[in-house]
Amino acid sequence: MTLLFKKIGGLALLLLGGLMAAHGGAAGQTWEVLFGLAVAAIGGALLVAKIIRRNSAPLGTLTRRDSAGRPSAQR
């Protein structure tokens, strides 16, 4: 359940940061633009970390390959 919260939280921060930056740009508030971009960057980092963690294989399951791409003997 916490994994779902991380995804939703990352998307929410990304959306909220984008909206804050757009509002700050329209209102001419530099601090709001910068704060919105920082919030959006945090949300994007959460999503990227989640994707990397999902796609990484456990260390024991990696197969060594030679220069031609064929599996090689374990050392």
- The domain limits of the chain are 2-54
pLDDT tens for 11-63 read: 999 999 999 999 999 999 999 999 999 999 999 999 998 888 877 766 666 66
DSSP string spanning the chain? Answer: -HHHHHHHHHHHHHHHHHHHHHHHHHHT-HHHHHHHHHHHHHHHHHHHHHHHHHHPPPGGG---B-TTS-B----
| pLDDT surpasses 60 at 1 | no
Predicted pLDDT of residue 73: 65
Predicted pLDDT of residue 60: 62
If one counts every other C-beta atom within 10 angstroms of the C-beta of residue 21, the result is 19
Predicted pLDDT of residue 67: 72
- Taking the whole predicted model, whether its pTM rises above 0.75 is answered as no
